[in-house]
């Protein structure tokens, strides 16, 4: 089958030629960001935190080991499209159950290959994340679509990705009495897998009220990752504010940002965000450095924490706040992804710290 020529056009007028693959759509639009992982493309594409975005992979060869059902991080896909330098024509791996292009087609995700992703990445690093559009339409139509694309700033994307109804993930230990309620702002499946090591997990929609959550009698509440602007999820901030001090809390990514806003801190949009599996983060409590998995465009403004919280982790690349602990309360959060998938597992200990906090709270001891 011959390749279909396509074009990626950014809102600043930049043009990138390539060939289309995956799902067939005349025009795909979204905020274009780059991801630096060397593997784990399936987990990235199925991460709900990419809702509203077109993912450009900096790794030049994508799709070489195929895809499988186990590595899906959500019930489907929420990104708007992917951009690659070279998509593999054949896949080879003992775990493979299919190829990347077929998966994209099945889930309605368009792609464009043959793009100069080095040039694209340098442009985004210099200019910041930009709205873009790609497809088989004319350059003029694609530019118009890119200019009309709102991006992720000031947009509520959580409502697009949260679970429509509550569901339960059983604890690994059937004798465990620990109950964790996880608020789904766009939660990855592997987070539930990690939490289930310590107790049963009840995943609830993002709109669930604090009274409903507390009515489920949890020993701890988890705030998940998710897409978009934390300033547009005011209801969730009010919910978290009502939960602080009532039950141990652990937040990741968007959950970290929402916890920050709940205690009065501000959030800011980063120029091109953090998307990859190689970000060095320093733990300010013990001085160790962790290599972390990251996926976010917004961050907590460290200067706005005041006395409400202590910054516990910092990104060594740019000084962004990567973690906080609420003053006088059993609540903490991190910006990076300790569950990884893809990425290193240096920060996986944080799930154990949450379990220790839960255990300490329920024995009237000090939290973690």
Query: Does the pLDDT of residue 70 top 60, yes or no?
Result: yes
The domain segmentation of the chain, as residue ranges, is 4-148, 158-362
Give the model's pLDDT for residue 361: 83
Query: How would residue 1 be classed by pLDDT, with cut points 50, 70 and 90?
Result: very low
Q: pLDDT category, 4, cuts 50, 70, 90?
A: confident
- Both tokens of residue 81? 């499209």
Give mean pLDDT, residues 336-364.
92
The percent of residues above 70 in pLDDT, for the chain, comes to 98
Instruction: Kindly report, residue by residue over 177-226, the tens digit of the pLDDT.
Output: 999 999 999 999 999 999 999 999 999 999 999 999 999 999 999 999 99
Q: What is the pTM of this model?
A: 0.95
pLDDT value of residue 363: 66
Q: What is the mean pLDDT of residues 77-89?
A: 96
Share of the chain above pLDDT 90, in %: 94
> Which pLDDT score is estimated for 368?
34
Are 184 and 158 in contact, with CB atoms under 8 Å apart?
no
CA-CA distance, 79 to 31, in Å (whole number)?
10
Task: Check if the beta carbon of residue 40 is closer than 8 Å to that of residue 66.
Answer: no
How far the first Cα of the chain sits from its last, in Å, is: 58
How far is the C-alpha of 205 from the C-alpha of 163, rounded, in Å? 5
Q: Would you state the pLDDT for residue 141?
A: 97
Task: Tell me the DSSP string of 167-209.
Answer: EEE--SSTT---EEEEEESS--HHHHHHHTTTSEEEEEETT--
CA-based nearest residue to 116, from 45, 34, 35, 60: 60
253 is known as an active-site residue:
yes
Nearest in space to 301 (alpha carbons), one of 269, 262, 255? 269
> Residue 277 — pLDDT band, cuts 50, 70, 90?
very high
- Least Cα distance to 90 among 78, 98, 82 occurs for 98
Residue 10: closest CA among 155, 112, 145 = 145
- Protein fold of 158-362: Rossmann fold (3.40.50)
Please report the sign of the dihedral spanned by the C-alpha atoms of residue 170, residue 175, residue 176, residue 181: positive
Catalytic residue among 31, 253, 279, 336: 253
DSSP 53: E
Q: Encoding tokens for residue 211?
A: 């009274």
Q: Find the mean pLDDT for residues 282-288.
A: 96
H/E element, 362: helix 349-362
The token pair at 44 is 């990235």
> 4-148 has which fold?
Glucose Oxidase; domain 1 (3.50.30)
Give the pLDDT score at 355.
Answer: 97
Mean pLDDT of the chain: 95
Catalytic position from the list 219, 296, 336, 337: 337
Q: What share of the chain is helix, strand, coil (3-state, %, to 5)?
A: 25, 30, 40
* Per-residue pLDDT tens digits for 47-58: 999 999 999 999
Q: State phi, psi for 295 to the nearest 5 degrees.
A: -160, 90
Say what the alpha-carbon torsion angle 344, 156, 266, 320 is, to the nearest 10 degrees: 20
220-223 and 179-184 strand pairing:
parallel
Confidence of residue 366 (pLDDT cuts 50, 70, 90): very low
* Burial class (CB within 10 angstroms; exposed 0-12, middle 13-18, buried 19+) of 188: buried
* Residues 35/43, Cβ–Cβ less than 8 Å: no
pLDDT band at 358, cuts 50/70/90?
A: very high
Query: What are 229-249's pLDDT values in tens digits?
Result: 999 997 999 999 999 999 999
How far is 318 from 139, CA to CA, in rounded Å?
Answer: 36
**96-152 residue pLDDT tens:** 999 999 999 999 999 999 999 999 999 999 999 999 999 999 999 999 999 999 999
Q: Give residue-wise pLDDT tens across range 166-188.
A: 999 999 999 999 999 999 999 99
25 CA to centre of own chain:
25
What SS3 state is found at 211?
Answer: helix
Residue 111 sits at φ, ψ, to 5 deg, of -140, 160
Q: List, as one string, the DSSP characters of 16-80.
A: EEEEEEES--SEEEEEEEEE--SS-HHHHHT-GGGTTEEEEESSSEE-TT-B-GGG--SSS---S
């Amino acid at each position: 089958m011959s390749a279909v020529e396509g074009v990626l056009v950014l809102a600043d007028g930049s043009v990138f030629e390539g060939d289309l693959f995956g799902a067939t759509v005349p025009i795909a639009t979204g905020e274009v960001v780059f991801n630096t992982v060397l593997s784990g493309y399936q987990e990235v594409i199925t991460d709900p935190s990419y809702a509203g975005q077109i993912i450009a992979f900096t790794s030049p060869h994508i799709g070489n080991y195929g895809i499988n059902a186990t590595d899906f991080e959500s019930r489907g896909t929420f990104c708007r499209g992917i951009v690659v330098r070279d998509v593999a024509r054949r896949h080879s791996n003992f775990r493979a159950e299919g190829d990347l292009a077929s998966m994209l087609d099945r889930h309605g995700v368009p792609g464009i290959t043959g793009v100069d992703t080095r040039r694209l990445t340098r442009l985004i690093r210099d200019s910041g994340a930009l709205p873009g559009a790609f497809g088989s339409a004319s350059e003029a139509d694609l530019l118009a679509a890119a200019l009309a694309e709102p991006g992720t700033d000031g947009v509520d994307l959580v409502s697009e990705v949260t679970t429509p109804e509550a569901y339960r993930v059983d604890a690994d230990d059937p004798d465990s009495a620990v109950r964790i309620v996880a608020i789904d702002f766009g939660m990855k499946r592997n987070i539930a897998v990690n939490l289930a090591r310590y107790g049963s997990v009840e995943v609830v929609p993002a709109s669930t009220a604090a009274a409903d959550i507390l009515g489920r009698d949890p020993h701890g509440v988890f705030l998940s990752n998710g897409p978009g602007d934390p300033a547009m999820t005011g209801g969730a901030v009010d919910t978290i504010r009502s939960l602080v001090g009532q039950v141990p809390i652990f937040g990741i990514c968007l959950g970290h940002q929402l916890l920050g806003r709940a205690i009065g801190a501000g959030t800011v949009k980063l120029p091109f965000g953090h998307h990859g599996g190689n970000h060095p983060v320093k733990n300010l409590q013990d001085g160790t450095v962790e290599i972390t998995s990251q996926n976010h465009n917004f961050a907590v403004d460290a200067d706005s924490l005041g006395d409400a919280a202590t910054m516990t982790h910092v990104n060594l690349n740019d000084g962004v706040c990567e973690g906080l602990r609420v003053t006088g309360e059993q609540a903490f959060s991190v910006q990076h992804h300790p569950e990884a998938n893809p990425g290193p597992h240096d920060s996986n200990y944080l799930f154990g710290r949450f379990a220790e906090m839960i255990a300490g709270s329920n024995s009237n001891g000090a939290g973690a």
